[in-house]
Amino acid sequence: MATSASAYENDIKNLKATELTLGLPGTHLQQNVPIIDQEKSSASSSSNKRPLQLSHEETSPAQDCGSKCSNIAKNTDDDAAPPPSKAKIVGWPPIRSYRKNSLQEQSEAAGGIYVKVSMDGAPYLRKIDLKIYGGYPQLLKALENMFKLTIGEYSEKEGYKGSDYAPTYEDKDGDWMLVGDVPWDMFVTSCKRLRIMKGSEARGLGCAV
Amino acid sequence: MKKAAYSFPEEVLEHVFSFIISDKDRSSISLVCKSWYEIERWCRRKVFVGNCYAVSPPILIKRFPELRSVTLKGKPHFADFNLVPEGWGGFACPWIRAMAGAYPWLEEIRLKRMVVSDESLEIIAKSFRNFKVLVLSSCEGFTTEGLAAIAANCRNLRELDLRESEVEDLSGRWLSDFPDSYTSLESLNISCLGNEVNLLALERLVSRCPNLKTLRLNRAVPLDRLPNLLRGAPQLAELGTGAYTSEMRPDVFSNLAEAFAGCKQLKTLSGFWDVLPSYLPAVYPICSQLISLNLSYATVQSPELIKLVSLCEKLQKLWVLDYIEDDGLEVLAASCKDLRELRVFPSDPFGLEPNVALTEQGLVSVSEGCPKLQSVLYFCRQMSNAALNTIARNRPNLTRFRLCIIEPRSPDYLTLQPLDDGFGAIVEHCKDLRRLSLSGLLTDRVFEYIGTYGKKLEMLSVAFAGDSDLGLHHVLSGCDNLRKLEIRDCPFGDKALLANAAKLETMRSLWMSSCSVSFGACKVLGQKMPRLNVEVMDESGPPDSRPESSPVEKLYVYRTVAGPRLDMPGFVWTMDDDSALRIS
C-alpha cells in the first residue's frame, strides 16, 4: 500500500533531473508557483522608453519560500514555450456551472483590465483590475498593501529611491518599464503585466539607457 | 394485559403521532405493529423521497393517501458537476400527474435535481387549490411560461423558490401574472433567472405582501432599484441583492444606506454580483445583526472584503471567494465567534497558478478561533497532514468536512507524503462527522481510517484516490451509517463491490465513474440483488459489445422497491435478473 507513494516520489525525482528550476537545489515539491516568463530585453523601438535590462538568471531564486517552492519546467530559449497547459478534467474541480459562468461573466462584464502581478520571492501570483484605480498613487498603495512592503516615491530621474522594491511592467511591445514612466492612461492601456522587482536591479533602475 | 394495547382509540394514537414529525421516527412508529402502521400511514402528512426511483408514484399514493407535502430528489449528486449526461432521468412529470389526481389538498412540492416541464408547472397550478410552497432546487426543463401559470393560479402561494435551477428565461412578464389581490407571498427566490423581471410589478408585489420575509433577486435587478424594494418590505429577514454596482453617486449611496438601515429584521444577505467596493459600506449599519452572508459571487478583494466580514460579529454562516485569503480568515476567526459554517470557493479554479494568498493556514486559523464551526467546504491549492491534524484536534465537533485541493493527487506539500494521516485524524477526532469529501494524494490507508473511525459517516465523496479494491472494501464494510457513496477516477473494481453487495441495500445509492468495475461484475450484481437497480451508463455504446471484463464508464446502484425504471435513455442499461441486458 505504500508502493504508490514511493513510486510517486521516484517519478518526481526522475523528473527533477531533467527540469530547470527556480528553486534552490534540493527543494522539490508539487506546489505550483507562478511561471514567470523570462524574455530577453527587446530592442526598444520607441525612444521614450527606458526598457530594463533583463538577463535570464537575474530573478532571485525563490529562497523565501523554502520548501514551498517547486520545480517548474522552464524554457529559457528565445521562443519561450507557453506554460504546460492541462487537459481539463470533466467535472473537476467540483464547482457548479452557474458559479463558473458567473465568475467568468463578471470579469468580462466589468470590462476590467486584469493584469497579473508577481513579486520576486513571493510564491503567489495576483491578478488586479487596473480599472479600479484612479491613478498611480492608488495603484502603488494597493500593491503595498497586497505584498506588505513599501515602494516609496517615484521620481523621474531616480526611480523608486529609498526602497528595495521597484514596480515594473511589461508593455505591449514586450519591454519592461518602470511603473510611472508614462502617463496613467497610457499605462493602463499598454500594461500587460506587473512585476515587483527586488534587490539590486531595483536599486539600479532609473538610469536612462 | 394484551387488552391495554388496544384500549387506545385510533384518534388518540393519531393525535399522539401528530407530534412526531421526523421521518425516521415516523418510520419507526410504522414498524411497531400492523395497526400502528395503518394509523400512521393515514395521518402522515409529509414525505421525503431521497431517490425518486427508489419508489414509484402508485406505491407512494397507495401507502400515504393524505399527504400535504412531498419532497423528491432525482439525479445523483455528481450531476452538479456535469458527470450525468443529458436525458438521464429524474422526470417530475409522472409524479406531478399522479399527485394531481391523488392529492387535491397537496400544499407543498419540493424537488431537487429533477427535470420539470412547463406542463408539470401548469398541472400544479391548476390541480391544488391550497398550494402553498414550490421549491425547485437545481432543477431544469422549464421556462418562465411555467412560472406564469403558477403566478396566475396559485392564490395561496407562500413560497416560490427557484434556487440554482436552470430556467429558460423567455420574458420577465410572468411576475405581472400575480393578481393584484394576491398578498400571501412570504418567500421569493428568483436569483437564478437571467433576464430582467418587470421591476414595477416586482415593486408592487413586494410592497403589497406584508409577510414577505425572504426576497432573493436576480442579477438583472439594478442596485438603484433596491432601496425602493427594501422600503416596501422593511420586515424582510433574508435579502439577495441583484448586481451590486452602479455609477458611484453620493445620493444613490445614501439612499441605499438608509434603506438598509430601515430593515431591522434583516439577518441574511446574499447576491452581490459585480460589486463596486465603494458601495459596500451601505450595508455596514446592519452587519452586526447578520447571521448569514453569502459573498460567493462577490469579486471584491481585501481590504474591503475583510472589513465587511469583521463587522459581522453574529455571523453563523459565511460563503465567500478565496479573495478572502489567509489574512481575511484570520480576521474572521477573531471576529466571528459564532461561526458554524464556512465555504470558500475558488475565484480562478482553472488557473494553473495560485492567484490569491489562500492556503491551509486560513482554515487552520478558523478552526482555532471558531469553537462552533461544524461545516466546512474549502477549495485550496495546498494542504498538509499537519494542518489537517491541527484542524481535527481543534474542531472535533465538525459534522461536514469537504476539502478540495484543486490539483488532483496533490501530496502533503511539506513532506510529499499522501494525506492519509491528515484525513485519518479528521475521521478519528470528529466522531460526529456525517459528510466527508476527500482530495489530494491518498492511498488505501485513508479508507482504512475511514472504515475504522467513520461510524457516523453518511455521505462520502472520493476522487482520484486509493490503490486497490481494499480501499473500497474498508469503506463498505466499516462505515455503519453510510447512505451515499460517490466515487470517480479511483482504481476500485469488482472484488470489493461484489463482496459487499448486501451493504448496498442498506444505502441510498452508490456512484462509480471512471473506475475499474467490469461489465461482468455489474451483471452479477444485478442478478444477485433484485432489490437494487444496477444501472450502467456508457455513451460509447452497449456494454455487451465489449468484453465482459472491460470497465464500465459509469455505474449507479440504488436500492428500490419499484423495480427497474422504464424511462432510461439509450445510454443507460439496467442489469437485472430478467435479462442480463435490457435496453429501454
- Note the pLDDT tens digit of each residue in B125-140: 999 999 999 999 999 9
Classify burial at A17, counting beta carbons within 10 Å of its beta carbon; exposed 0-12, middle 13-18, buried 19 or more. exposed
Residue A8 pLDDT > 80:
no
Q: DSSP letter at A22?
A: S
Q: Copy the grid coordinates of residue B73.
A: 430528489
Phi and psi, residue B31, nearest 5°: -95, -5
CA distance B568 to B561: 17
Q: Predicted ipTM? A: 0.91
CA distance B425 to B420: 9
CA distance B582 to B536: 11
Mark which residues 55-94 of A lie under 8 Å from B by CB: 67-68, 83-86, 88-94
What's the whole-number average pLDDT of chain B? 95
Q: Which of A2, A31, A124 sits opposite B357 (nearest CB)?
A: A124
**Is residue B381 within 8 angstroms of chain A, CB to CB?**
yes
Residues of B in contact with A126 (CB under 8 A): 355-357
| CB-based contact A5 B82, cutoff 8 Å | no
Return the number of CB contacts < 8 Å for A and B: 121
Listed residue (A149, A115, A160, A108) closest to A133, CA to CA? A115
- Which of the pair, A144 or B116, is modelled with greater confidence? B116
Distance of CA A112 to the CA centre of its chain: 19
> Position of cell 416586482?
B202
Tell me: the pLDDT tens digits for A162-171? 777 888 999 8
Confidence of residue B493 (pLDDT cuts 50, 70, 90): very high
| CB-based contact A1 B355, cutoff 8 Å | no
Confidence of residue A1 (pLDDT cuts 50, 70, 90): very low
Report CA-CA distances (Å) from A170 to A33, A48, A167, B154: 20, 15, 10, 61
| CB-based contact B441 A125, cutoff 8 Å | no
What integer pLDDT is reported at residue A67 of this predicted model? 36
Tell me: the pLDDT tens digits for B526-569? 999 999 999 999 988 898 889 999 999 999 999 999 999 999 99
Residue B457 pLDDT > 80:
yes
Tell me: the pLDDT tens digits for A94-143? 999 889 888 887 776 666 778 888 888 887 777 788 877 778 888 888 88
Q: Copy the grid coordinates of residue B461.
A: 465523496
What is the set of domains in chain A, with CATH numbers?
A: 114-203 (3.10.20.90)
Average pLDDT (B155-161) is: 97
Tell me: the pLDDT tens digits for B341-364? 999 999 999 888 888 899 999 999
Side-chain half-sphere exposure of B28, counting CA atoms within 13 A: 7
CA distance B555 to B538: 9
Collapsing DSSP to helix, strand or coil, B166 comes out as strand
- Which of the pair, A89 or A37, is modelled with greater confidence? A89
CA distance B384 to B390: 10
Residue B406 pLDDT > 60:
yes
Q: DSSP letter at B86?
A: T
Residue A31 pLDDT > 80:
no
Residues of A in contact with B277 (CB under 8 A): 132
What is the set of domains in chain B, with CATH numbers?
A: 1-44 (1.20.1280.50), 493-583 (no CATH)
Collapsing DSSP to helix, strand or coil, A18 comes out as helix
Report CA-CA distances (Å) from B376 to B128, B342, B407, B433: 39, 5, 19, 11
Classify burial at B145, counting beta carbons within 10 Å of its beta carbon; exposed 0-12, middle 13-18, buried 19 or more. middle
Residue A160 pLDDT > 70:
yes
Candidates A1, A116, A119: best to mutate against B (most CBs of B within 10 A) is A1
| CB-based contact A86 B404, cutoff 8 Å | no
**Is residue B302 within 8 angstroms of chain A, CB to CB?**
yes
**Is residue A17 within 8 angstroms of chain B, CB to CB?**
no
To the nearest whole Å, the CA of A202 is away from the closest chain B CA by 24
Collapsing DSSP to helix, strand or coil, B530 comes out as coil
Start-to-end CA distance of chain A, whole Å, equals: 61
In this structure, the number of other CB atoms found within 10 A of the CB of residue B172 comes to 20
Residue B16 pLDDT > 80:
yes
The residues facing B486 across adjacent strands are B461, B511
Q: Which of A5, A95, A116 sits opposite B349 (nearest CB)?
A: A95
| CB-based contact B81 A32, cutoff 8 Å | no
Q: Do the Cβ atoms of A91 and B78 come closer than 8 Å? A: yes
Q: Do the Cβ atoms of B456 and B481 come closer than 8 Å? A: yes
Tell me: the pLDDT tens digits for B172-209? 899 999 999 999 999 999 999 999 999 999 999 999 99
Q: Which residues contact A209 (CB under 8 A, 6 or more apart)?
A: A44, A50, A51, A53
Residues of B in contact with A119 (CB under 8 A): none
Contacts 24+ apart (CB under 8 A), B537-542: B537/B84, B537/B85, B537/B88, B537/B513, B537/B571, B537/B572, B537/B573, B538/B571, B538/B573, B539/B85, B539/B571, B542/B573, B542/B581, B542/B583
Report CA-CA distances (Å) from B109 to B119, B120, B124: 15, 12, 9
Listed residue (A86, A29, A59, A34) closest to A198, CA to CA? A59
- Which of the pair, B242 or B576, is modelled with greater confidence? B242
